[in-house]
Amino acid sequence: RIDKISLPKNTKEIIKKYGFSFKKSLGQNFLIDQNILEKIVNAAELDQSKGALEIGPGIGALTQSLAHSAGKVTAIELDQRLIPILNDLLQPYDNVEVIHGDVLKLDLNSIFKEHFRDQTEISVVANLPYYVTTPIIMALLEKQLPIENIVVMIQKEVAERMVASPGRKDYGSLSIAVQYYCEPEMVLTVPNTVFIPQPNVDSAVIRLKRRKKPIVQVEDSVFFFKVVQASFGQRRKTIINNLISNLFTKDDKQKLISILQSCDIDPSRRGETLNIEEYARLSNVLLKV
Ligand code: SAM
């Protein structure tokens, strides 16, 4: 079996041996710190009965650690040049499969069905390509996949938005979208020095523990998120003005004021002060307008 891929000297040797060159446009920043890798894998609470889906395995540093901790690992990599490298390096691990493709275009429901036949609990574990962090996480949450935990390295700033509570400057529609489906938790912040090449932004590992059902009951989740988006439209505007500008019209003003009041929400509050229950209550009433 090969030694740890993540050791800086091994990563450098592999890159040289295969003549690999990093593509910035694909968010390629490889982890070279075994300690951080272990913390990521531990946060996913895996064991031999569980499955792990990795997005963007690179040269397989995290995949190799996952192979030791999970019963089955499936890794999706977009860069064709990495596929033969992964197949070579991960060949000793018979519980690992590599799929070539774009995670945003593949049919994840079929992948889960085909690749995790014997696992009922599956976690997504990844050092994500930062240029597509939010679309990837939203796709994982919205597609009703059988996911237990999502443990991912992402930009620190995005992680802070995901865990933010009402009134904080980072609180916004992303906080609500993530918290609707999951219990988010900041696992650790990570210095740039654990990657090659080093990214320009700070990083953090976050764990999103999927709730059995959304934290609030909404009658129409698409409309709920529309109300949330509209309410955060211009951050300095009041909720009433944001709703008028972004979802309704001036003619609806009086009606909106009485609806907000009937929901116990002062129309002069700003969107960033409303919690998720208040948004649920409001959207359920607005739906009937
Ligand atoms: N897991 C490796 C590690 O930790 O060293 C590499 C992580 S690197 C930040 C992100 C990886 O995602 C790269 O290998 C990149 O080629 C891949 N990638 C980028 N966009 C992707 C997409 N849409 N679908 C699947 N993989 C993607």
Over the stretch 251-265, which tens digit does the pLDDT of each residue have? Answer: 999 999 999 999 999
What pTM did the predictor assign? Answer: 0.95
Per residue in 130-162, pLDDT (tens digit) is 999 999 999 999 998 999 999 999 999 999 999
| Protein residue with least CA distance to atom 14, ligand 1 | 58
Which of 35, 54, 55, 205 is the pocket-test mutation for ligand 1 (most atoms within 8 Å of CB)? Answer: 55
CA of 21 to the centre of ligand 1 (A): 14
Q: Which residues pair with 188 in a beta bridge?
A: 205
Torsion, CA 178, CA 54, CA 145, CA 151, rounded to 10: -30
The residues with which 98 forms a beta bridge, in sequence order, are 75
In the predicted model, what is the mean pLDDT of the chain?
A: 97
Residues with Cβ within 6 A of ligand 1? Answer: 26-31, 55-58, 61-62, 76-79, 82, 102-104, 127, 129, 132
The answer to whether residue 1 scores a pLDDT higher than 90 is no
The answer to whether 56 is a known ligand-binding residue is yes
- pLDDT tens digits, 169-198: 999 999 999 999 999 999 999 999 999 999
DSSP reduced 3-state for 50:
coil
- Residue with the smallest CA separation from ligand 1 atom 6 is 58
> Residue 190: how many CB atoms within 10 A of its CB?
22
In the reported structure, the alpha carbon of residue 62 is separated from the centroid of ligand 1 by a whole-number distance in angstroms of 11
The answer to whether 252 is a known ligand-binding residue is no
Q: Please provide the size of the chain in residues.
A: 289
pLDDT number for residue 144: 86
Asked if 208 contacts 137 with a C-beta cutoff of 8 angstroms, the reply is yes
Alpha-carbon span 134 to 142, nearest angstrom = 12
- The reply to whether 31 sits in an annotated binding site is yes
Residue 26 near residue 58, CB atoms below 8 Å: no
Q: What is the pLDDT of residues 33-59, one digit of tens each?
A: 999 999 999 999 999 999 999 999 999
Interval between CA 206 and ligand 1 midpoint (Å)? 17
Strands, E, within the chain: which ranges? 30-31, 51-55, 72-77, 96-100, 122-127, 147-155, 182-190, 195-196, 203-210
Checking 21-25 for CB contacts under 8 A at 24+ apart, the result is 22/197, 23/79, 25/131
pLDDT at 189: 98
Is pLDDT above 70 for 30? yes
User: Is 29 annotated for ligand binding?
Assistant: yes
Question: How far, in Å, from the CA of 130 to the mean position of ligand 1?
Answer: 9
Mutate to test the pocket of ligand 1, among 79, 82, 152 (most ligand atoms within 8 A of CB): 79
Q: Look at residue 289 in the predicted model and tell me its pLDDT.
A: 83
Centre of ligand 1 from the C-alpha of residue 204, in Å: 16
Ligand 1 centroid vs 164 CA: distance in angstroms? 26
Q: Environment class of residue 89 by beta-carbon count within 10 Å: exposed (0-12), middle (13-18) or buried (19+)?
A: buried
